[in-house]
Amino acid sequence: MAKRISEHYTEQLAKLKEQVLRMGGLAEAMTRQVVQALVRRDAALLPEVRAMETQVNQLHVEIDEACIEIIALRQPAAYDLRFVTAAMKIIIDLERIGDQAINILEAAEDLLGVPPLKPLIDIPRMGEIAQGMLKDALDAYVGGDDELAQRTILRDDSVDQLKDQVFRELLTYMTSDPSTIPRAMDLILVSRHLERIADHATNICEDVIFMVKGKDIRHQAPSKVE
Amino acid sequence: MAKRISEHYTEQLAKLKEQVLRMGGLAEAMTRQVVQALVRRDAALLPEVRAMETQVNQLHVEIDEACIEIIALRQPAAYDLRFVTAAMKIIIDLERIGDQAINILEAAEDLLGVPPLKPLIDIPRMGEIAQGMLKDALDAYVGGDDELAQRTILRDDSVDQLKDQVFRELLTYMTSDPSTIPRAMDLILVSRHLERIADHATNICEDVIFMVKGKDIRHQAPSKVE
C-alpha cells in the first residue's frame, strides 16, 4: 500500500491498463480454449480453463480495489476519471465472460462424455466472432479507439442471428429424434453462453465510446449510433 | 447542471439513493409482472413491462452520469466514495435484470399464443424468490444493512436448485412427447432468465457488503462469507 501510494500517478494508470488487458487476455483465452475443447473433443483442454477463471476472479478484485484507491487518493478528473470508471465497468463484463466460459465448460463436460450429435453447426463460428469482438473491444480500450468500438458493436447482430439459426436446427433434431434432446439442449445452451460473451464485448465497446467521447450511447437505437 | 452543482452534497447523495431505489423498484415490478402474465396467461400485462424497461434504461444513463459528476465535483472519500461506486455497479445489475425480464416477456409472447403445457412447475416459485431477493438487496442498500445482504445471498442456492429441477422435469416431457419441445424449451429458458435475475440480486448484495464493510467478499467460497 505504502509502495503503491508513492508510485507516480501515470504509472498507476499504466498499471491499471495493463492489468485490465491481462484480465481481458485471460477471458479471451478461456473463450477460445473451451470452444476448441468442444470442436476437438479434447477434455484435456478444460482444466486450464478453470485455472484461468481463478486468475480472472483474482484480477477482478485487485483491479476494482486499485480503481477505488486511484479515485480516492488521486481524485482524477475528465478523461482520467472516465478511464478509471470505464475500467471498473469493463472488469465486471470480463468477470462475467469468465462465468460464461465456465458454463460452456460444464456443458462440454457432458457433451464429451457421449457420442457427438454431429458437427457443431455454427457454434465454432459463433465462438470465433465472440472472441474476435472481445479482442477488438480490448484493443479499442487500450488505444482509446472509439471507431473500432463502434465497428465491433455492429458484429453483435451476426452472433444473434447464428444463435437463432443454431436453435432452429437443433429443434429439428430434437423433434425428429428425441434421443438427441439432452445433447441438443447442451448445444443450445452453449450457443446462448457464446451470445452472452458477445453481449459483454458489446458492453465493453460502449464503455470505451463513453470513455473517449464522454457521451453515453447506451439505450439508443443502432441507427443513432454514429 | 448549474442547478445541480449548487445543490448540497448530502442532497445529491440522497437523490442518488432515491433514484437507485426507483430503478430497483421498476426492475422488481418488471420481474413480478412478467411472471404474473405467464401464470395468469394474460398478455395484457406485457406492454407495461416493456414501458418499464424504457424507464429502467433511462435511469441507468441518468444515474451513471450523476455518479461521475459527484465523483468529479465532490471528490467523495471513504464510505461516500464506496456508496457512489456501489451505485454505479448496482445500476448495471438492475439494467440487466430489466433485460432478463424482457427475455422472459419474449418467451411469454410465444407461450401465451399456444395451449399451456401444464402448470408452470416451479417457475412461479423461482420468480417469487428472485423478486424477494431483489427487494431485500435493495433494502440492504438503502439501510446499509450488510447482514440482510449476507442472508439474501444464501437464497441464491435454492433458485439454482429449482432451475435444475425445472430442467429435469421438462426434459422428461420433451423426451416422452416431442410435440412439447418448443414450449418446454421456452420454459427452460424462462427458468434460466429467472436464475440470472437472482444472480444479479446476489451481485447487488455483494456490492452492499463491500460498501458497508469496505471488504471484498466476491470470489470466496460461501463458507468464508461470515
Render pLDDT for A136-178 as a digit per residue (tens, 0 to 9).
999 999 999 999 999 999 999 999 999 999 999 998 888 888 8
Q: Report CB contact under 8 Å: B219, A58.
A: yes
**pLDDT digit string (tens) for A188-213?**
999 999 999 999 999 999 999 999 99
Q: Report CB contact under 8 Å: A174, B181.
A: yes
ipTM of the complex: 0.76
**pLDDT digit string (tens) for B75-119?**
898 889 999 999 999 999 999 999 999 999 999 999 999 988 876
CA distance A44 to A54: 18
- Using CA atoms, how far residue B71 sits from A15, A55, B57, B171, B198, in Å, is 22, 30, 22, 50, 30
For residue A105, the number of C-alpha atoms closer than 13 Å in the C-beta half-sphere is 23
Burial of A101 (0-12, 13-18, 19+ CB in 10 A): buried
CA distance B202 to A56: 19
Whether the Cβ atoms of residue B195 and residue B159 lie closer than 8 Å to each other: yes
Q: At what angle are helices A46-74 and A78-111 packed, to 10 degrees? A: 160
In this complex, the residue of A58, A175, A216 whose CB is nearest that of residue B181 is: A175
Cell numbers for B187, please give them.
420454459
DSSP state of B198: H
CA distance B117 to A30: 38
CA distance B91 to B104: 20
CA distance A151 to A135: 13
**Chain A residues within 8 A of B85 when measuring between CB atoms:** 67-68, 71, 88
Residues 6 or more apart whose CB falls under 8 angstroms from that of B194 comprise B31, B35, B100, B104, B123, B126, B127, B130, B159, B163
- Assign A120 to helix, strand or coil: coil
DSSP state of A41: T
Q: Which CATH superfamily is domain A2-224 in?
A: Phosphate transport system protein phou homolog 2; domain 2 (1.20.58.220)
* Confidence at residue B225, expressed as pLDDT on a 0 to 100 scale: 33
**pLDDT digit string (tens) for A23-34?**
999 999 999 999
Q: Report CB contact under 8 Å: A181, B188.
A: no
Report residue B115: phi and psi, to 5°: -60, 145
In this complex, the residue of A65, A75, A219 whose CB is nearest that of residue B216 is: A65
The C-alpha cell 449476507 sits at: B150
DSSP B135-195: HHHHHHHHHT-HHHHHHHHHTHHHHHHHHHHHHHHHHHHHHH-GGGHHHHHHHHHHHHHHH
